[in-house]
Structure 1
Amino acid sequence: MKKVLTPARGAVAAALIAGMAMPAVAQGQLRQALETGEQATRKAEQVQEQINQLDDQRSDMVSEFRTLLQRTQAAQLYARQQEKVVESQRRELASLEEQLGRVDEITAQTTPMLIDMISDLETFIQADLPFKINERTETINELRTAMENPQVPIVEQYRLIIEAYKREMEYGRTIQTWPEEIDIDGNPVMVDMFLYGRVALVYLSPDNKYAARYDRASNAWVPVQSKFKEDIAQAIKVAKGTTTPSVLYAPATRLNVSAQ
């Protein structure tokens, strides 16, 4: 901090100049007066320094107060926002509690519908072409077991039933072939089964000796004419992926499904 020439210091300087011409006694008195003035000047400087320090402290306190005020306002804004969030969560919780209270009612209404869906699927399979009967019947049994198991949630029961329906739908728009042992004239014979969607179900033995189609009207296997064996063999190759796709021909029969 720069020292300035205060009025007291100016007076001291003037007195020093004037004192050079005074007697010794007067000079002693003047010197004492000057020392007193110098002490007063130093005291004034100390007071001024304290004032400067207090001013700096005041500035720091003002800055800190403004910072605290901003933080307080931000905290209040956050608190108001959180109050809205809590209120929204309370409303959502109340809605969930209401929905949970209706679970038993929904389950009571849904379970009979799912049981009916399984029964309808079983009826359809029984009226459908008799392919993969063991596999499809096992699916029905598994669905009924799931419905009787209290550990299986109703949502999972519904999913299993829908998956079974999807598999049945897929059979109607694809061609498939698989080996199967059947009884022909009392003898077990391994044949290649071939499913034309749901248009026809036929089989052909590897030696081309046996070939037949399933007749819906009589619910029995009916031998096909020899001229169809080549078409069936070609269709089986297409399904196995051993030859390029081509137009396939198959005898069609009407599908009638009656409720039981």
Structure 2
Amino acid sequence: MKVTKWAQTSLFISMSAFSMYGYSMGYTSSDEELNKVVNAGKKINQSANVSQQKVDKINEQIQSKLQQFKVVNKEIDGLNVYNKQMQAQLNNQLTELQQLATSMEQVSIIERQISPLMARMIETLITFVRLDVPFLPEERSKRTADLEKLLEQADVSVAEKFRRVLEAYQVEVDYGRTIEVYSGTQLVDGIERDVDFLRIGRVSFVYQTRDGEKMGMWDKASQSWKPLAADYRTDINKALRIARKQLAPDLIIVPIAQDSAE
């Protein structure tokens, strides 16, 4: 029969107790043998204490590893959620890249189509300025000429060219709803004289000499200047002051071309 270590220890302690009992009852035993028994019991207790400490230490290590395992599992769960979010963002970015690639292909097509469109727009603008009321002729002609040069420049983007063309169109549109006065020279009775030109939208375009004696109106039907009667002098002077912002806007009477679309 196999006896375990703990059973052997109990048996040994029992035998030791029995020996001590026998000694007390008168059995013969030396002091040396008794000391051996006591020392052996102490060693067993010390060994058991050491073993228990080892068990406790191993248990602490197991608990520490278990806690680390739980922390790592939580980190793994968090990383799984994060990976799902990143994958969703990655999928969206791939979709956007595909859309951008498609857009870039379409931009190339648009660029090939928009250059001829701008050329036609500039040509139309040149024709319009030539047939329009002849105010600010040098400024307007220079603007269209600059657009023609701009269209040939390779270092300017298509977007910038188109913006400039639209800007020129917007300037021409604004002329139709503003009042303006500027100085210039005009041939009056065969003599070139300094005059003030007054433009009221596109409905009226007149001039007045600096001394106020001579006035004229652009006649769109005949494409020429027609003299104005002195009756208009007061209203034209008033309109000139309003255009110079010397007077508040007010009702004025000015000559209007009969075939004006305004």
Please say whether Structure 1 and Structure 2 have the same fold, judged by a TM-score greater than 0.5: yes
CA distance in 2, matches of 1:123, 1:251: 26
Range with greater deviation from structure 2 (179-188 or 113-122) = 179-188
Q: Show the counterpart of 1:194.
A: 198
Bigger shift: 158-167 or 107-116? Answer: 107-116
**Residue in structure 1 matched with residue 139 of structure 2 by the alignment:** 135
Q: Which amino acid aligns with 1:252?
A: I
Q: Which moved more, 1:90-99 or 1:226-235?
A: 90-99
Native 8 Å contact 1:178 1:194 kept in 2: yes
Matched, 1:88 2:92: yes
Give the greater-gyration-radius structure (CA).
2
Q: Which residue among 176, 180, 201 is the counterpart of 1:176?
A: 180
Structure 1 unaligned blocks of 5 or more = 1-6
- Aligned-pair CA distance for 1:132: 0.7
Q: Distance in 2 between matches of 1:37 and 1:150?
A: 105
Distance in 2, matches of 1:54 and 1:236, equals 105
Deviation at 1:25, TM superposition (A): 4.7
Q: In the alignment, is the contact (CA less than 8 A) between 1:203 and 1:213 conserved in 2?
A: yes
Shift of 1:159: 0.9
Secondary structure of 2:180 counterpart = strand
Counterpart amino acid of residue 173 in structure 1: R
Whether 1:160 aligns to 2:128 is no
Q: What is the one-letter code of the residue matched to 1:190?
A: D
Q: Supply the distance in 2 between the matched residues of 1:31 and 1:187 (Cα, whole angstroms).
A: 151
Letter in structure 2 aligned against 1:98 = T
Residue pair 1:128, 1:255 contacting (<8 A) in 2 also: no
Q: Calculate the TM-score normalised by the size of structure 2.
A: 0.82
Supply the distance in 2 between the matched residues of 1:70 and 1:105 (Cα, whole angstroms).
Answer: 53
For 2:183 and 2:46, the matched residues in 1 are separated by 118
Match of 2:260 in 1: 255
1:149, 1:80 → 2: CA distance?
Answer: 50
User: What's the CA shift string for 1:153-196, capped at 9, x where partnerless?
Assistant: 22222111111111111111111111222232343322221111
> What SS does structure 2 have at the residue aligned with 1:150?
coil
CA distance in 2, matches of 1:152, 1:110: 14
Structure 2 alignment gaps of length 5 or more: 1-8
Q: Report the equivalent of 1:43.
A: 47
Higher relative contact order (CA 8 A, sep 6+): 1
Cα RMSD for the two superposed structures: 2.7
Q: Helix, strand or coil for the counterpart of 1:241?
A: coil
CA distance in 2, matches of 1:37, 1:87: 74
Distance in 1 between residues matched to 2:250 and 2:41, nearest whole Å:
124
Instruction: Specify the code of the residue in structure 1 equivalent to 2:198.
Output: F
CA distance in 2 between partners of 1:68 and 1:199 (Å) = 83
Aligned equivalent of 2:65: 61
Alignment pair present for 1:98 and 2:113: no
Amino acid of the structure 1 residue aligned with 2:217: R
| Percent of matched pairs sharing the same residue | 26
Deviation of 1:26 after TM superposition, in Å, equals 4.7
Specify the alignment match of 1:3 in structure 2.
Answer: none
After TM superposition, the structure 1 = structure 2 runs for residues 70-81 of structure 1, keeping only pairs within 5 Å, are: 70-81=74-85
Match of 2:123 in 1: 119
Which residue, 203, 206, 213 being the options, matches 2:207?
A: 203
Secondary structure of the structure 2 residue equivalent to 1:195: strand
Distance 1:129 1:207 in 2: 24
